[in-house]
Every structure is written in structure tokens, then in C-alpha cells.
């Protein structure tokens, strides 16, 4: 099959040349697209001289926006997404493609122990993986890995769902599961990136926290809302039992907790219907 390899890049001149050369050397027939996301260095020139087709953003629009631009520009039946900062080994592409040829729709390079950029990010990713596993009912080895191979026609169905920021891997993985497409994981080792990361822990902390809620709303909101509603209902019952035995009355706090529990559950039901409508075309 025709293969397109898409690399979103912003100020990656130190690593993009060797990354593209490594891909071209191993997969000379593949289309290599570097999406230059408003770089202020010579990323575009280095990538082009190494053999890539460069698509420019006039200004920085975000990692997810670069992914969408690359997916639209790709001409291959299969797209491989990978980072331009030297973390991902081009030699691993063949293993991802092999799993895709086995009949799967998305193959994700799952980073092994020691591949995380920091302990904090490793713990956060571990939590995301467990939450996503609970939501989907399928084992999730690496929810946030940006190294993945997909079938182009199926990936393009979900471009409207993808955010312009860094959480496109989460969104695309959950969308594929929700649509009933096959997603598998292939173990990889991610090297230390070349240059400075564009992720700012303090500024992006809230964004990563929102990923937790996005996981739920993208797949099955009721699995997220129902336990919270049940907890509020149980707390209301405990408080009512306590006040009835000690004061012989039903308090406003119990009424508030009961009402809150019911409202949260109903919000989950409504969100479930909205989520179904989001995937109406793809399903």
C-alpha cells in the first residue's frame, strides 16, 4: 500500500534532518510530509533538503492542527504519525505497518518503561491508561503516544473531533474504539528528545487534567457520571440516616445531595446521547 509519514514540527531543526533521512533510507518509496507549524528557525529548509515535502503553517496553530494538515495532505492509504524531535526510531515503522497489514485499523507505538520524559509524566500517563481501559473495556497500553500507524480513510473521519493542541492521540484512540475499529499496541522504546520540549507543565497542567474528562465524554460519558452520581446518592442516604437517628428529621443537605446525585446521573444520560450523535456519520 502507499504510505505517507507525517511529522508535525515546530523549531525542530536540530533533529528533523536526521529523522527524515532515517525514514527515507528505510522507506524510500514512502511519502514524507513535514508540517512546519510556524517555526522561527530553519526547520522547513532542513526538512526539505533531507527529502521531505514541507507544508507550512503561517503561524503556530498547535500539534493537533499540524496533524490534521498532514492527514489532509497525505496521499497514501496508510499514514504513520511520528514526532520530529528524534524520540521515535524510524526502524520501528516496519513493525507498526506489519501489525496494520494483519488487519488492524490503528497501531500505536506503546512506550516501555524508561521511555517517559519524566517521572511525573510517566505517572500521569499511567493514570490515563487505567482510566481509558476502564472506559473502553479494552487494555490501553499507551493512550498519549504520538507514534502510530492508521488507515487514512478511517482516520480522516474523525478530523473534526481532533483538538488543535497536544491531546490528539487521546482523542483519536478513543474515537477509533468508539467507532468499533481495531486498535492494537506495539512495544517501542522512545529515546530522549533532541532540543527543548514545547510542553509547559505549569501552563499545560489544566489541559492534561481536562484529558481525563475528555476520555469519558469521547467514549461513554455515563461510565464517568454514573459512579459520581451514585456516590452523591449514597452520601445523601448516609447523611439522612445519621440525621434521622440523631435529630429525627430530613435535612436540606440530604435533599441537596439526593438532587445532585440524580442531576449528575441525568447529565450522564444526556451526554451519552450527544456522544452517539457525534459518531453518527462514522458508524
Tens-binned pLDDT, residue by residue, of the chain (283 aa): 699 999 999 999 999 999 999 999 999 999 999 999 999 999 999 999 999 999 999 999 999 999 999 999 999 999 999 999 888 999 999 999 999 999 999 999 998 876 555 566 677 778 888 888 888 888 899 988 999 999 999 999 999 888 887 778 988 998 899 888 999 999 998 877 665 655 555 555 566 667 767 777 777 888 889 999 999 999 999 999 999 999 888 999 999 999 999 999 999 899 888 887 776 654 4
- Where do the DSSP E strands lie in 40-126? 53-57, 78-81, 106-111
Burial class (CB in 10 A: 0-12, 13-18, 19+), 248: exposed
What's the pLDDT score for residue 59? Answer: 94
Q: What angle do CA 241, 243, 248 make, to 5 degrees?
A: 100
Burial 55-81 (b: 16+ CB within 10 A, else e): bebeebbbbbbbbbbbbeebebebbbb
Start-to-end Cα distance in the chain: 25
Q: How many CA atoms lie within 13 A of 126 on its CB side?
A: 12
Q: Are 8 and 84 in contact (CB under 8 A)?
A: yes
* Partners of 148 in beta bridges: 81, 108
3-state SS class at 121: helix
Cα 215 from Cα 84, distance rounded (Å)? 26
Match 495532505 to its residue by C-alpha cell.
73
What's the pLDDT score for residue 282? Answer: 47
What's the pLDDT score for residue 240? Answer: 92
Match 521515535 to its residue by C-alpha cell.
88
What's the pLDDT score for residue 195? Answer: 54
Domain ranges within the chain, ordered by starting residue: 3-200, 221-278
Fold (CATH) for 3-200 = Spore Coat Polysaccharide Biosynthesis Protein SpsA; Chain A (3.90.550)
Q: Are 21 and 48 in contact (CB under 8 A)?
A: no
C-alpha cell at 224: 464517568
Amino acid at each position: 500500500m502507499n504510505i505517507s509519514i507525517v511529522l508535525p514540527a515546530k523549531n525542530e531543526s536540530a533533529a528533523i534532518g536526521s529523522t527524515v533521512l532515517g525514514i527515507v533510507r528505510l522507506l524510500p518509496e514512502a511519502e514524507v510530509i513535514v508540517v512546519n507549524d510556524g517555526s522561527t528557525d530553519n526547520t522547513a529548509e532542513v526538512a526539505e533538503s533531507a527529502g521531505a515535502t514541507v507544508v507550512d503553517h503561517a503561524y503556530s496553530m498547535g500539534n493537533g492542527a499540524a496533524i490534521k494538515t498532514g492527514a489532509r495532505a497525505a496521499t497514501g492509504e496508510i499514514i504513520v504519525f511520528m514526532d520530529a524531535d528524534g524520540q521515535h526510531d524510524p526502524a520501528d515503522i516496519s513493525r507498526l505497518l506489519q501489525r496494520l497489514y494483519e488487519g488492524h485499523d490503528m497501531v500505536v507505538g506503546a512506550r516501555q518503561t524508561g521511555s517517559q520524559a519524566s517521572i511525573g509524566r510517566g505517572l500521569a500517563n499511567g493514570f490515563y491508561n487505567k482510566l481509558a481501559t476502564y472506559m473502553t473495556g479494552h487494555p490501553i497500553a499507551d493512550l498519549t503516544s504520538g507514534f502510530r500507524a492508521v488507515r487514512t480513510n478511517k482516520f480522516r473521519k474523525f478530523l473534526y473531533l481532533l483538538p488543535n493542541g497536544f491531546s490528539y492521540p487521546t482523542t483519536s484512540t478513543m474515537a477509533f474504539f468508539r467507532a468499533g475499529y481495531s486498535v492494537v499496541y506495539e512495544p517501542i522504546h522512545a529515546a530522549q528528545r533532541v532540543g527543548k520540549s514545547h510542553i509547559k507543565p505549569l501552563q499545560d497542567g489544566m489541559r492534561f487534567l481536562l484529558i481525563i474528562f475528555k476520555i469519558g465524554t469521547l467514549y461513554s460519558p455515563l461510565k464517568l457520571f454514573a459512579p459520581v452520581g451514585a456516590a452523591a446518592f449514597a452520601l445523601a442516604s448516609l447523611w439522612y440516616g445519621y440525621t434521622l437517628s440523631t435529630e429525627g428529621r430530613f435535612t436540606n443537605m440530604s435533599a441537596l445531595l439526593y438532587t445532585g446525585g440524580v442531576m449528575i446521573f441525568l447529565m450522564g444520560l444526556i451526554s451519552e446521547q450527544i456522544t452517539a450523535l457525534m459518531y453518527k456519520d462514522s458508524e
